[in-house]
Structure 1
Amino acid sequence: MPSEKAPGGDASLSGIEAVSAAVLAMSRHLEVREVLRRITASARELLGAEYAALGVPDDHGGFAQFVVDGVSDEQWRAIGPLPRQHGVLATMLHDLAPTRLDDVRRAPAFGGWPSAHPTLTDFLGMPIVDDGEIVGALFLANKQGGFTDHDEDLLRILVAHAALALGNARLYERSRELTLAGERARIAHDLHDAVSQKLFSLRLTAKAAAALVERDPARARAELAEVAKLAAEAADELRAVVVELRPAALEEDGLVATLASQVQVLDRAHSASVSFTAQGVRALPPAQEAAVLRVAQEALHNALRHSGAQAVTVALAGSGPAGRGARLRVADDGRGFDPESVRRAGRHLGLVSMRDRAAGVGGRLSLESAPGTGTVVEMEVPGA
């Protein structure tokens, strides 16, 4: 990864203010990999070390994830494979006490480095503990003048917050996995309810047409017309499902382009008109962009499959201070419904998952609908 400058500490910040700044930096992220990277960079900057690394162990004597800071991409590639759980690292993964050394090379457990590895001297390492379990090891090396008791106290505070940030990130990713599993189940249900039923009707209609060809050609032609209609509807349903299954290219294309592309495909796949507009939208944090996209997909799914709408509009606009946030609006002219009746009947139409997605990225979601008036879903996220 690119090397970042490690200042020796901002004189304008006291120790507790510096820790607070580091904790806030960690808390802004939800993806585990990014949280690990931010913990490592924050620790290095906080203590003014030249190098920092954080390892999350696996169950096979290695590391499931290993993040470094202060090492360039070229250096990291030259170092080679990830380290194993041995030497000083192994000690840190089995001992709750911190490890502080004047020269790590003289430690009894020191086992050497690959030839491209930078030379480390003074060393401070501390396990990351969550609910009594060591979930990682954070260490820093090469601080001018060596590490002090004060450095150890600061790192202990930072590591406690790092455990919380890492735990929250893992819960978020687990929640996202469960949501994806739920979406797969919903898509499978849609395939069964919509496409499978249409294909079954198509087969019966085709058999009826074949039986009528000789004795009633006119009725046979009518049945064949119905076959063509059912086949077209089944193809539309399949195209819509493919759109939902297709991985969104958020990282490559961004939210606006990705959402515009999906709306365009849905407009072609369905008889209803589906349109998209965007105005003043800035790039959002990755987790927020993913949440906005998924809420838009869920709202579009409801409008196109359940509302009987003739027109669906999707609008995305900048919002909040300096336009850093975004507001999504999905509106249809369908039959609408009574939200309270739907809630009492236990039919959520994806509303729970949409609200959870919005809340999970610090946003809010609202829904307006009534029988005969269509439905409007709005979501707003704060941005960076």
Structure 2
Amino acid sequence: MDSPRCDPSLQAIEAVSAAVLAMSRPLEVREVLRRITASARELLGAEYAALGLPDDHGGFAQFVVDGVSDEQWRAIGPLPRQHGVLASMLHDREPTRLKDVRTAPAFGGWPEAHPDMTDFLGMPIMDGDEIAGALFLANKPGGFTDQDEELLRILVAHAALALGNARLYERSRELTLSGERARIAHDLHDAVSQKLFSLRLTARAAAKQVDRDLARARENLAEVARLAAEAADELRAVVVELRPAALEEDGLVATLASQVQVLDRAHSAKVAFTATGVRALPAAQEAAVLRVAQEALHNALRHAGAETVAVTLTGTAGRGVRLTVRDDGRGFDPESVRRAGRHLGLVSMRDRAAAVGGRLSLDSAPGRGTLVELEVPGA
């Protein structure tokens, strides 16, 4: 009796499942397009595959290929516009299957460097009632079959979801970056620029008092030195926000450790970091943990007057992570801060936690420091 794994239908399901998983993991649109194209080519055993997204003028805004070398692709030249079999599929909601694409009425010939293709299968990628793109395959030994068409139809349905999720992710990231830029601009205006303005006025006063009141001039010069040091600290903190280590390359533990080390050098407060049993998390969760840690550190170092700040990252039983940021600063009454409209980034931290299914808690009171704790579930 044959093993169930030898069943061709089961093998096809497993192949589709592997292809769907491969194209669903990445978050960036370009990488999703590349994975969809490669997965389709591998699934159907074709020599070439391509995926095109439409622009607003009947041509392609993006075009990804698999099975063609970079040198060959550069030599092919411009993308097809409003003619040819490929471009016509941006307007056709039905799949196109041809034994020889060169005999199709819409075929307009190849560029000189284009590989020769015969059998062809194209499938639109639908987003509701709109054509979001088109996937093309060519040159399968023995030609494309009804089963190939059905497998591609299933893959394309999942491809539409993966592409939609990637676009939402990139849009969310753009909004987050825009918000970060606005926050950093606000920080520069409220902190650094105001200190520099005070420094300039104090320096002018000292210059006028040098000949009339030397003792007072010395006091003002000491104040200039103090303001300059504070402005430098503020600027270093903003630079750390602008240039965090890449989570994709270094991971959460190394990234957070590096930032804590920089802050420890830049501030008079002692800033320490420990990590225990932390596993890799999805990119969105690691980004949320990093940003909450940054916000809590920002509050401790700029508002709390803390002498020590301890940052701890601990793996949890559910493969998640728990972040704690504890300082010995002046503390505050969270309810009073909320009523006064001064949020100290609390809303931002809670929003980041909620966005990844995490739970944020804050414990503080005047005179006894602050503890921020974030727990994020595993993947």
Q: What is the TM-score of this pair, normalised by structure 1?
A: 0.83
In the alignment, is residue 378 of structure 1 matched against residue 364 of structure 2?
A: no
Q: 1:145 to 1:191 in 2, by over 3 A?
A: same
Aligned residue for 1:316?
313
Q: Deviations over 1:168-202 (max 9, x none)?
A: 22112111111111111111111111112212222
Question: Which amino acid letter does the alignment assign opposite residue 231 of structure 1?
Answer: A
- When structure 1 is superposed on structure 2, of 171-180 and 291-300 the one drifting more is 291-300
Q: State the alpha-carbon separation in 2 of the partners of residues 41 and 342 from structure 1.
A: 53
Matching of residues 42-121 of structure 1 within 5 Å: 42-59=39-56, 62-72=59-69, 76=73, 79=76, 82-84=79-81, 86-121=83-118
Could you report, residue by residue, the CA deviation over 1:202-235 in whole angstroms, capped at 9, with x for unpaired residues? 2232233233333322222112111111111111
User: 8 Å contact 2:53–2:134 — kept in the other structure?
Assistant: yes
What pairs up with 1:167-206 in 2 under 5 angstroms? 167-206=164-203
Cα distance change on mapping 1:319 and 1:193 into 2, 3 Å:
same
Ranges of 4+ aligned residues in structure 1 off by more than 6 Å? none
Q: Which moved more, 1:130-139 or 1:152-161?
A: 152-161
For residues 198 and 342 of structure 1, the distance between their equivalents in structure 2, rounded to whole angstroms, comes to 24
Deviations 1:334-362 (A, max 9, x none): 334455665566554434444444555x5
Q: Secondary structure at the match of 1:307?
A: coil
Asked if the contact 2:244/2:255 (under 8 Å) is kept, the reply is no
Provide the residue aligned with 1:242 in structure 2.
239
Report the Cα offset of residue 74 of structure 1: 5.7
Q: What is the SS of the residue equivalent to 2:142?
A: coil
Total equivalences in the alignment:
372
Is this contact kept in 1: 2:285–2:376, CA < 8 A? Answer: no
Partner residue in 1 for 2:130 = 133
Residue 360 of structure 2 aligns with an amino acid whose one-letter code is S
Give the whole-Å Cα distance in 2 for the aligned partners of 1:32 and 1:237: 36
Gaps of 5+ in 2: 1-5
Task: Flag structure 1 segments of 5+ consecutive residues without an equivalent.
Answer: 1-8
- 1:364 deviates by 1.6
Structure 1 residue 283 displacement after superposition:
4.9
1:367 aligns with 2:367: no
Give the structure 2 partner of residue 6 of structure 1.
Answer: none
Shift of the alpha carbon at 1:381? 5.3
Classify the secondary structure of the residue corresponding to 1:375: strand
Report 1:294-333 matches (<5 A). 294-319=291-316, 326-333=321-328
Displacement of 1:34 in angstroms is: 2.4
Q: What value does the CA root-mean-square deviation take over the aligned residues?
A: 3.1
Partner SS for 1:13: helix
Tell me which residue corresponds to 1:163: 160
Match in the other structure for 2:254 = 257
From the superposition, tell whether residues 65 and 317 of structure 1 become closer, same or farther in structure 2 (CA, over 3 Å).
farther
Structure 2 CA distance for partners of 1:267 and 1:253, relative to 1, 3 Å: same
CA distance in 2, matches of 1:124, 1:238: 57
Which of 348-357 and 369-378 deviates more? 348-357
Aligned match of 2:204 in 198, 207, 213? 207
How much has 1:128 moved relative to structure 2? 1.4
What one-letter code is carried by the residue in structure 2 that aligns with 1:369? Answer: D
Name whichever of 81-90 and 29-38 sits farther off. 81-90
Contact 1:333-1:375 within 8 A present in 2 as well: no
